Amino acid sequence: MKLGFDSVARLRSFNYSQATSLLAGIDTKGLQVLTVVWAGALALCVMASMEVSVLRSVHDESVSPSLVAPRVLMLPPQQVNQAVLEQTASRLRRLSKKVEVDVGKDGGLAIHSKDPSSFRDWIIELTSLETMAPQVRWRFTSLCVGSVVCQSYQMSAEVVGEVVSFGPGVAGQAGGASKN
């Protein structure tokens, strides 16, 4: 059927009596086929809607912050044994004679200098801690520069070491310190 301007006008003038006469012209088999087709289309729409809602809930669960955020491995801190502290302190002392390195009783090191010209050596010793004992994580408890802030030293840093271990038997040893 070709729709033209006169067809559109006919559709506008379509009334109830014409609809009943149209339906009367369709036989019962055609009506059954039409009903099955529309029922199938309705069923497919309902199933698609349910599937979309299920996919939406799965998507919402997958982007929840608890799944997106990485799990952080928490290890209990363990103090470095005294032998590793002494070994690290002796290696630091060999780097520069202008910087003093003392071993604390609390599992830490005190690195300080009275001479302002040894600032570069002091920084080098602080940064060398990472490579001298890779199994140890160093945490600064005190850091100051300047005679007004540091009472008896120009530069002073106190660090505490904690052992980082990922396997049994390594925890108290800080096995990363080399024997140089």
Kindly report the number of other CB atoms within 10 A of residue 50's CB atom. 10
Domain count, the chain: 2
Q: pLDDT class for 174, splitting at 50, 70, 90?
A: very low
Name the pTM for this structure: 0.50
Mean pLDDT of 154-161: 89
* Position with higher pLDDT, 107 vs 175: 107
Residue 20 one-letter amino acid = T
Q: Would the pLDDT of 37 be above 60?
A: yes
Please check whether residue 125 lies inside any domain of the structure. yes
Where do we find the tokens 């009506």? 31
Q: Would the pLDDT of 4 be above 80?
A: no
Please check whether residue 174 lies inside any domain of the structure. no
Find the CATH number of the domain harbouring 84. Answer: 3.30.70
Q: Would the pLDDT of 116 be above 90?
A: no
Tell me: the pLDDT tens digits for 43-98?
Answer: 999 999 999 999 998 888 777 766 666 777 776 778 888 888 899 889 988 888 88
Contact 155, 119 (CB under 8 A): yes
Domain that holds residue 53: 5-68
Kindly report the number of other CB atoms within 10 A of residue 133's CB atom. 24
Q: Are residues 64 and 87 in the same domain?
A: no
